[in-house]
Amino acid sequence: MRHLAAALAVAAVTVLAGPAAGAAATGNEPPAPTTKPSSGSTTPGPGSKGVTPIAGTDRLVAPLGVDPACPARMEIGMRGETGRARFADLFVDVDPPLGVSRSMLSSYLPPGHDVGAKLLVAVPPDTPEGTYDLRLRASRRTLTVPVEVVALDRLDNGGNHALRRPVTASSQHTNANYPPCSVVDGDPGSNSWAGGNGWNDATARAWPDTLAIDLGGPKQVSRVDLYTLDTERYPASRVGLRDWDVQTGLAGQWRTVAQVRGNTAGSVRSDFPAVSADAVRIVALASNGANDYTRVIEVEVR
Amino acid sequence: MHGASRRSLLRFGGAAIALAFTTNLADPWTARASIRGDYPFQLGVASGDPLPDRVILWTRLAVRPLEPLGGLPYNKIKVDWEIAEDEAFTRRAGHGSAWARPEYGHAVHVDATGLRPGREYFYRFRAGTEISPVGRTKTAPAPGSSPDALRLAFASCALWQDGFYTAYRHLADENPDVVLHLGDYVYEYGILPTGGARRTAVPEQFRVQCDTLDRFRVQYGLYKSDPDLQAAHQRAPWIVTWDDHEVLDNWAGRHGPGGEVTEQDYLVIRANAFRAYWENLPLRVPAVTGPDARLHRRFTFGDLAEINVLDTRQYRDDQVCGDGQQTGCAERLDPARQMLGAEQEKWLLDGLGASRARWNVLAQQIAMMQLDFDPGPAQRLSMDLWDGYKAAKDRVLQGMLDRQVRNPVVLTGDIHYNLAGELKADFDDPASRTVGVEFVGTSISSGGNGNAGTGLPPGGSDPVNPHLRFSSYQRGYVSCEVTRDQWRTDYKVIPYVDRPGAPVSTRASLVTLDGAPGLQAL
């Protein structure tokens, strides 16, 4: 039976396109191992031979003091050197006191494809700013990715005042991972819905639902972009947010600066005369479709 | 990984520091090769796929079950096993050694052969100096024998964070001859820190949905750490099949969730899911090596019963009309659409045609009887169930009529609801022939406590679905006593799952008689 909220789950594995996605290959590789369950006494090594560790970024910025439900994340993966399918292993570790969400990545590795997965990097609150090494190891090769730990106020937010700021929501669905802080994680894509990249409230058919972002002090604000769930299988016109008010707050006083009604698109830009605000609040009033949950992927404030 | 990061990665990958070879990390090859201290049988023991002369014995070594390698080194580990006719192991019937290999999550599958038919056995494992709990199992009766009775139980749908597995504990206490698990044994969903209805702390690695093999492995580690589930495995052999949540919600053949998950992504997830399923269950099928794995198979219990275990997910066409419940969806009638796939459908009908068993069982996932969800005159049907594959359903039901299959009994999971009904040649004509009966079992925990106040009393009449004879929305399992003259089904329910210790009671008992398809309430 389809669960209303979790039916929207989209898994986080991504198969990366072609050799261009990977790190540079080096040298000649030994032949791929045989992994028959009843094979003899030789033990395969950690991971499979002929597998190269790869990463989705050459460095990772990890802000200090953010909600631990939304840690810094990146893609890690493996690329097979040969044209045959196999199951393969990648081992992950990071300099303390940082932590990683997985100590290894094991996956089917189809021929001609690379397999990646999300890696979360946790930064304890008292971590000194600086650069820490993240290591990815497969087939006795290690790829090192620097992790730069920076204070939130020194984070380059590209003009988006909401990025990585504290978020409070009226409720949170508990069927999967829908943290409110994920609406300010800088990822407006609907991928990995239910896997930590979007907020789903807990009150079906009950309105309004609210989502408030603390901007960390007064800012001049004239534009809010809201991204609701929108994929091919789960289009915004069927499961996305339909009606909402955009409010700005200053010293606890809220005012409505824009209204959106009848939306069927994946994202909506609301422009309004510039105001000084230390917070922005989305007041959700209705969704498309019968499920009637609020599903928000990202909110950007400029 | 998209354009920008790909370019930067390539640039970075060309630099010497990006891809350094290092020797300063601990090499798992050189880690300890034997078990020390920690108890390695924390995931329990299991048996399954019983034949007259053999049964699969299973365990998976883990000293820290919530870690991908179970807290063990990347090494193979020797495991001894033995099976005996008595619980004290004085009449040993077989023994040997096997390797627990890291590339299979340190799982062990032993096919213990040379056993006697229709007998109870006891088994255990040893790794290093540690000895596993003792499991009870039972072989199938001899081919050609005429057993008087078979006691089986079936269950499905055990979302961990929705509640405790008390129903599994009560199932264990019945010591059935065999347990059928009809799918949703695990769910792929991420789990919150508070552990949902269990209010049990769950570590960080469980937040994201299952996709990679290491993630699926820790999900099984969590599920299989449950003492009630372990008890159910420990007390009887299981015959299992998967439904959708062992992979992804409502997957259908080669059709995954779509959107940004390409078919290739989805097949990687499916391969990882299948592999983890194989590692964690007592199956007699080849080790999974990719996204295709045959699970359908057949078990014979003398001339009393034959069980056809089906896979209604892997070979089906995609759900039509957008899935969900739909009114007036014409595509569901398309005769070209497959539920079992042509090969499995032929295998099923050929097997049913050749069967000499008195009771012919389909152990499968989704409701076969028509279920109209609209209380009014309109017909609202679920596109994920057999109703969404009407022609395929008719081929199976008509195929059973054509072959004069004796006493078809369909056992079903998936929908978290107890239902008992008659399978009709034409569900829209209550006067049409009754082909057989279907028993749909509720969930172990999925959906939470349930509601004792709803449902159709046994023997009652539902105006919208006149073939339905009983329903209830409570948690539990189903217990069946199969004898030569009748099949008796007892629906066992518990009042709550949000805390441990719920008592069990029988909500309904229904009987179908040999040669007289239909249901009678007791």
The CATH code of the domain that includes B35 is 2.60.40.380
Same structural domain for residues B194 and B311? yes
Per the model's pLDDT, the better-predicted residue between A105 and B1 turns out to be A105
Residue B5 lies in a domain: no
Nearest of A198, A172, A168 to residue A267 by alpha carbon: A198
Residue pair B381/B368 in contact (Cβ under 8 Å)? The answer is: no
Using 50, 70 and 90 to split pLDDT, how confident is the model at B138?
very high
- Closest chain B C-alpha to A302 CA, distance in angstroms: 23
The reply to whether residue B192 touches residue A85, judged by beta carbons under 8 angstroms, is no
Q: Mapping DSSP to helix (H, G, I), strand (E, B) and coil, where does residue B269 land?
A: helix
Q: Count CA within 13 A, CB hemisphere, residue B421.
A: 26
Same structural domain for residues B122 and B249? no
Distance CA B368, CA B178 (A): 23
The reply to whether residue B208 touches residue A6, judged by beta carbons under 8 angstroms, is no
Joined together, the tokens standing for residue B273 give 């899911």
Same structural domain for residues B109 and B184? no
The pLDDT value recorded for residue A36 is: 31
Q: Which residue segment(s) compose the domain that B387 sits in?
A: 140-521
Q: How far is CA A142 from CA A55, A91, A225, B130, in A?
A: 11, 9, 40, 36
For A154-192, write each residue's pLDDT tens digit.
Answer: 999 999 999 999 999 999 997 777 999 999 999 999 877
**Last-in-domain residue among B139, B155, B184:** B139
Q: Mutate which of A86, A93, A106, A143 to disrupt the B interface (most B C-beta within 10 Å)?
A: A106
The pLDDT value recorded for residue B148 is: 98
The reply to whether residue A43 touches residue B29, judged by beta carbons under 8 angstroms, is yes
Same structural domain for residues B378 and B389? yes
Cα B394-B397-B403 angle, rounded to 5 deg = 125
Out of B21, B214, B264, closest to residue A106 by CB? B214
Domains: count for chain B: 2
Same structural domain for residues B94 and B191? no
Residue pair A139/A49 in contact (Cβ under 8 Å)? The answer is: yes
SS3 content of chain B, % helix, strand, coil (to 5): 20, 30, 50
- Closest chain A C-alpha to B71 CA, distance in angstroms: 11
**Listed ranges A286-290, B29-33, B231-235; the one with the highest mean pLDDT:** B231-235
**Last-in-domain residue among B139, B155, B173:** B139
Nearest of A286, A288, A264, A290 to residue A208 by alpha carbon: A286
Per DSSP bridges, beta strands B149-155 and B178-181 are: parallel
Residue pair A180/A245 in contact (Cβ under 8 Å)? The answer is: no
Same structural domain for residues B277 and B337? yes
Using 50, 70 and 90 to split pLDDT, how confident is the model at A16?
very low
Radius of gyration (Cα) for chain A, nearest Å? 22
The pLDDT value recorded for residue A102 is: 85
Residue pair A159/B153 in contact (Cβ under 8 Å)? The answer is: no
The reply to whether residue B213 touches residue A107, judged by beta carbons under 8 angstroms, is yes
Map out the domains of chain A with their CATH numbers.
Answer: 11-16+44-153 (2.60.40.10), 167-301 (2.60.120.260)
Q: Locate the chain A residue with the closest alpha carbon to B197.
A: A174
The pLDDT value recorded for residue B37 is: 52
Residue B1 lies in a domain: no
For A92-148, write each residue's pLDDT tens digit.
Answer: 999 999 999 888 999 999 877 888 888 889 999 999 999 999 999 998 899 999 999
Q: Read off the CATH number of the domain in which B506 is found.
A: 3.60.21.70
Using 50, 70 and 90 to split pLDDT, how confident is the model at B175?
very high
The pLDDT value recorded for residue A289 is: 79
The answer to which of A116-120, B8-12, B54-58, B414-418 has the lowest mean pLDDT is B8-12
Using 50, 70 and 90 to split pLDDT, how confident is the model at B421?
very high
For B454-496, write each residue's pLDDT tens digit.
Answer: 999 999 989 999 999 999 999 999 999 999 999 999 999 999 9
Same structural domain for residues B102 and B125? yes
The residue count for chain A: 302
The pLDDT value recorded for residue B7 is: 25
What's the predicted TM-score (pTM) here?
Answer: 0.80
Q: Locate the chain B residue with the closest alpha carbon to A140.
A: B21
* Greatest C-alpha distance within chain B: 79
The pLDDT value recorded for residue B260 is: 62
Distance CA B407, CA B178 (A): 20
- Closest chain B C-alpha to A95 CA, distance in angstroms: 12
The answer to which of B3-12, B126-135, B348-357 has the lowest mean pLDDT is B3-12
The pLDDT value recorded for residue B15 is: 22
**Listed ranges A7-11, A111-115, B266-270, B489-493; the one with the highest mean pLDDT:** B489-493
Using 50, 70 and 90 to split pLDDT, how confident is the model at A21?
very low
Task: Please report the DSSP string for A138-166 in residue order.
Answer: ETTEEEEEEEEEE-GGGS--TT-TTTT--
Q: Report whether pLDDT(B23) > 60.
A: no
Same structural domain for residues B180 and B90? no
Q: Mapping DSSP to helix (H, G, I), strand (E, B) and coil, where does residue B503 land?
A: coil
Adjacent-strand bridge partners of A204: none
The pLDDT value recorded for residue A234 is: 85
The residue type at A208: P
Nearest of A107, A254, A103, A71 to residue B288 by alpha carbon: A107
The pLDDT value recorded for residue B105 is: 97
Per DSSP bridges, beta strands B92-100 and B54-60 are: unpaired
Residue B108 lies in a domain: yes
Q: How far is CA B384 from CA B197, B366, B417, in A?
A: 27, 8, 15
Residue B152 lies in a domain: yes
The pLDDT value recorded for residue A13 is: 39
Joined together, the tokens standing for residue B168 give 């599994």
Per the model's pLDDT, the better-predicted residue between B15 and B285 turns out to be B285
In this prediction, residues B85-110 reach a mean pLDDT of 97
Residue B9 lies in a domain: no
**Last-in-domain residue among B109, B139, B169:** B139
Give the count of Cβ contacts less than 8 A between chain A and B. 231
In this prediction, residues B339-366 reach a mean pLDDT of 98
The pLDDT value recorded for residue A15 is: 40
For B323-346, write each residue's pLDDT tens digit.
Answer: 999 999 999 999 999 999 999 999
The reply to whether residue A194 touches residue B257, judged by beta carbons under 8 angstroms, is no
Burial of A258 (0-12, 13-18, 19+ CB in 10 A): middle
The pLDDT value recorded for residue B331 is: 97
Distance CA B258, CA B496 (A): 36
The pLDDT value recorded for residue A290 is: 66
Task: Please report the DSSP string for B135-172 in residue order.
Answer: EEEEPPPPTT---SEEEEEEE----GGG---HHHHHHH
- Closest chain B C-alpha to A281 CA, distance in angstroms: 25
Mean residue pLDDT of chain A comes to 83
Residue pair B320/B443 in contact (Cβ under 8 Å)? The answer is: no
Nearest of A5, A12, A296 to residue A162 by alpha carbon: A296
Using 50, 70 and 90 to split pLDDT, how confident is the model at A18?
very low
Nearest of B245, B223, B246 to residue B62 by alpha carbon: B223
